[in-house]
Each structure stands twice: as structure tokens, then as C-alpha cells.
A and B are shown apart, each in its own frame.
Chain A
Amino acid sequence: MSAGAFWIEALAAGLLILSGLFVLVSAIGFARLPDFFGRMHPPALAYTLGSWCVGLAAALYYSFLEKRLALHPLLIPLLLSVTVPVTTVVLARVSLFRGRIAGGGDVPPTLAQRTAPESKPGGEES
């Protein structure tokens, strides 16, 4: 095995280990934190570095295996970076909305004017 092949596999292995560790830390945070809005932050670790590391490792590995440029594994983190904000923002809004209906004062009041849910840009979900 040539030296270049060794370094490519070492880099891919390192990226996989890094991704595993970040996903584990994000899940620990998600299971352990006490309130919903605090819990929204740790999964972002997995969604960003967790997925990009796996995508990069797979792209490197398939490029090396098939002896040509293989960019297609990077499409998954790219797609996730568009879809994940939409679901996260909708869930944050759900939590605010339900918290205000339930009362209890653990969520802040609406900003100045009452915002209609449709006025939010970014998610064309309807």
C-alpha cells in the first residue's frame, strides 16, 4: 500500500471518529438538558459537524476507491443544511405557541405586534 493511500484512509478514519464523538456529545446534551429550548442547541452539533465529517470521509474514500472524483456523498450534508433549519424553526415556533397557550410564563411574550405564523420567511411549508 502506498503512502498516499495510507494518509487518505487515516484522514477518513479520523473524520469518522470525530463525527461519532460529536454525535455522541450532542445526544448526551439532548438527553440531559432540562428545558426544551436548551435542548435545541446540542443536536445542531450532530447536524453540522457530525454530517459534514461523514460526508467528507465518504467523499474521500469513494474518490480513492474508484480512482475518480466522487462528490455525491457531500450532497447529504448539503441537503441537511437546507432542511434542518426549516424543521428546527418550525419546532421552535411550535414550542413558543404551545407554551403561550399553556401559560406558566416559561416562554417570552410575542414581539410588539402579534405575529401570524405565516409571516415567517425561510420555510415554504404550506
Chain B
Amino acid sequence: MRLLNTLLPAPWLSGMLLGTWLVLARTVTPGQFSLGLLLALGIPHLFPKLQLSGIRLRRPAVALRFIARVAGDVVVSNVAVARDVIRWRWRKPASRFVVIPLDLRDPLGLAALALVTTIVPGTVWSELAADRSALLLHVWDVQEESDFVLQFKARYEQPLREIFE
């Protein structure tokens, strides 16, 4: 087990590297497989500064459900923002900055939150307070600010806390 940990400090990264290599090569011949395996084992050792070791996904089921939820939200808010752009001449969306108090402290969780808020159309991650206690978010269309904050915390922050903390 100890040997496995030093040889494979970041199993998730190694798995993804191998998978990406095989998809890029478009074949699963033994040669390509061993080349991909070499890269997957070697690359995590080249970047010790990234602190890749010790990352554990606590709840894979929650993580999968979270990814599905984000995919659904992307489609829904895509349609919403597209509709608002088309009828922009008649109805202006209430765009503004919203400050959201955060309970999530884990750097990886915050990175995932930044990724998700930027990928979903309608919200852009703008700034994080130095002590990670609050987040400045620019929102495309927000009617009631307190409702939005509560919904955001329940929808995105809570699952990320379960996964990473």
C-alpha cells in the first residue's frame, strides 16, 4: 500500500492522463497503452509543486450527481440567457454584483466552485475575499438577492462541501 502511494501519488490524474492518451491515439494497441501508462505514471512526479497527492474524493455518488446537475443547469441557463439576449431591446435583465458569504474553505473545492460558476452561463466568478469568507459574483439576471444567495449555497456549495471536506 505504501509502495502504491509513492508510485501513484495521484490516481485520478494518472487515470485521466491514460484515458486522454488512448482517446488521442485512437487505438488501444499494446504499444500505445504502455506509452500512455509511462506518461500517466511519470507526469505526476514532474509536478510536485501542484500538491497532487492526498486528494481523496469523499463521495463519488454525490460528485456524479453534482456533475449531472451542473450539466442540466448549463443547458437551462443557456436557453434563459439566449432568450434574454434576443429580447434585450424590450426587457433588460437585472444584472448586478452579488456578495455571497462562503462556508467552503478547501482550496480544491473553491477551484471547483470557480469552474462551475464560470461555466454555467449567467454567473461569473469575480473575486474571492483574502480570508475566503466571501465571494463576489456577477449575475446576469437576479430578481431577489437573498433568494439567489440561499439557492446558490444549497445548489452548489453544499454538494462541494460534502465532496471535498
A and B touching (Cβ–Cβ under 8 A) = yes
User: Is residue A115 within 8 Å, beta carbon to beta carbon, of the partner chain?
Assistant: yes
Q: Are A111 and B136 closer than 8 Å at their CB atoms?
A: yes
Interface residue from B23, B82, B111 paired with A22 (Cβ < 8 Å): B82
Q: Known contacts A22-B78, A49-B78; is A96 also within 8 Å of B126 by CB?
A: yes
Q: Are B131 and A112 closer than 8 Å at their CB atoms?
A: yes
User: Is residue B151 within 8 Å, beta carbon to beta carbon, of the partner chain?
Assistant: no
Q: Which residue of B lies closest to A36 (CB)?
A: B138
Q: Which of A80-112 contact B (CB under 8 A)?
A: 81-82, 84-85, 88-89, 92-93, 96, 108, 110-112
Q: Are A25 and B129 closer than 8 Å at their CB atoms?
A: no
User: Is residue B88 within 8 Å, beta carbon to beta carbon, of the partner chain?
Assistant: yes
Q: Please give, as numbers and ranges, the residues of chain B lying within 8 Å of A84 by CB-CB distance.
A: 118-119
Q: How far is the CA of A120 from the CA of B6 in the complex (A)?
A: 29
User: Is residue A10 within 8 Å, beta carbon to beta carbon, of the partner chain?
Assistant: no
Q: Are A41 and B115 closer than 8 Å at their CB atoms?
A: no
Q: Which of B67-112 contact A (CB under 8 A)?
A: 74-75, 78, 81-82, 85-86, 88, 95, 97, 99, 107-108, 110-111
User: Is residue B130 within 8 Å, beta carbon to beta carbon, of the partner chain?
Assistant: yes
Q: How far is the CA of A105 from the CA of B96 in the complex (A)?
A: 13
- Please give the number of chain B residues whose Cβ is less than 8 angstroms from any Cβ of chain A in the complex: 41
Q: Known contacts A71-B23, A122-B110; is A42 also within 8 Å of B81 by CB?
A: yes
Q: Please give, as numbers and ranges, the residues of chain B lying within 8 Å of A38 by CB-CB distance.
A: 95, 140
Q: Are A85 and B129 closer than 8 Å at their CB atoms?
A: no
Q: Are B134 and A122 closer than 8 Å at their CB atoms?
A: no
Q: Are B114 and A45 closer than 8 Å at their CB atoms?
A: no
Q: Which of A25-78 contact B (CB under 8 A)?
A: 25-26, 28-29, 32-33, 35, 37-38, 40-42, 44-45, 47-49, 70-72, 74-75
- Which residues on A are within 8 Å of B, measured CB to CB? 22, 25-26, 28-29, 32-33, 35, 37-38, 40-42, 44-45, 47-49, 70-72, 74-75, 81-82, 84-85, 88-89, 92-93, 96, 108, 110-116, 119-122, 124
Please list 9 pairs of residues, one from A and one from B, whose beta carbons are closer than 8 Å in the complex, sorted by A's number.
A32-B85, A48-B119, A48-B120, A84-B119, A89-B118, A92-B126, A111-B99, A111-B134, A115-B129
Of all A-B residue pairs in the complex, the 3 with the closest CB atoms, nearest first, are A44-B121, A85-B118, A29-B85
